[in-house]
């Protein structure tokens, strides 16, 4: 419950902070999914600020609790979900671990991290772009016998259209045009494409 002396954390709050941190970018970008877009959210620039990340994660934790969900573990896929996953886990009072890609590009648990059958999981993401990678993480966790309760993210770029079998908690919906590379009007206009994310080039092949 918000104190009368505490300013509520809203989507507008997050949007303004993203803009202040130069984390909300406009241009011509290649996303982790391989799609092209006119908008990119570089959440690493936002999450480098613990004083900004903590209130955002606290709001996500509040919404999760309000929905009656209590996870045993928060899992944040590397790289984008690691920082927000750790902070969300801290706010929820549970362990925070992360999945990462192996040498073959497959998402997996490493570094001695384990999931016990029956454990309830919140997946933490910085941005849900298409829902594809979130579902990939969910399949890994469910394959270990876990139950995915929800995904919690700073940004939802899907407009609520991600094909997920569990709830999607997001602080800010971002409307952005996305295009297949072979039909991208930005490419056709000769505007150079930028790949601002962390995934290596071979992941697009």
136: three-class secondary structure by DSSP: helix
The verdict on whether residue 127 carries a ligand-binding annotation is: yes
Query: Rounded to the nearest 10 degrees, what angle do helices 80-92 and 50-66 cross at?
Result: 60
Pinpoint the alpha helices (H) of 27-148: 43-47, 50-66, 80-92, 132-143
Of 130, 134, 163, 139, the residue nearest 151 (C-alpha): 134
Helices and strands: H and E segment counts in the chain? 6, 10
Place of tokens 């996953």: 85
Q: What are phi and psi of 147, to 5 degrees?
A: -115, 120
The verdict on whether residue 49 carries a ligand-binding annotation is: no
Instruction: Report the DSSP beta bridge partners of residue 26.
Output: 39
Q: Which two tokens stand for residue 123?
A: 């997946």
The verdict on whether residue 131 carries a ligand-binding annotation is: yes
The rounded distance, in Å, linking the Cα atoms of 191 and 87 is 37
Q: Which two tokens stand for residue 18?
A: 């993203």
The verdict on whether residue 62 carries a ligand-binding annotation is: no
The verdict on whether residue 33 carries a ligand-binding annotation is: no
The verdict on whether residue 133 carries a ligand-binding annotation is: yes
Which residue numbers belong to the known binding site for 5-phospho-alpha-D-ribose 1-diphosphate? 101, 125-133
Which residue numbers belong to the known binding site for orotate? 129, 157
Which residue numbers belong to the known binding site? 101, 125-133, 157
């Amino acid at each position: 419950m918000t104190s009368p002396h505490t300013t509520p954390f809203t989507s507008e709050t997050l949007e303004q902070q993203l803009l202040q941190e130069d984390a909300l970018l406009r241009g011509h970008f290649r996303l982790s999914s391989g799609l092209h877009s006119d908008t990119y959210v570089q959440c690493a620039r936002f999450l480098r600020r613990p004083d900004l990340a903590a209130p955002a994660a606290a709001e996500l934790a509040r919404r999760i609790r309000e929905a009656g969900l209590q996870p045993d573990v928060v899992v944040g896929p590397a790289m984008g979900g690691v920082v927000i996953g750790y902070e969300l886990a801290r706010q929820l009072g549970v362990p925070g671990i992360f999945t990462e890609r192996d040498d073959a590009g497959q998402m997996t648990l490493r570094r001695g991290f384990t999931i016990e059958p029956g454990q309830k999981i919140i997946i933490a993401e910085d941005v849900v772009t298409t829902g594809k990678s979130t579902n990939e993480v969910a399949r890994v966790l469910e394959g270990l016998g876990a139950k995915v309760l929800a995904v919690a993210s700073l940004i939802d770029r899907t407009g609520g259209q991600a094909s997920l079998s569990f709830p999607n908690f997001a602080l800010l919906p971002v409307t952005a045009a996305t295009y297949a590379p072979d039909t991208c009007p930005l490419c056709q206009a000769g505007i150079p494409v930028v790949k601002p994310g962390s995934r290596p080039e071979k992941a697009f092949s």
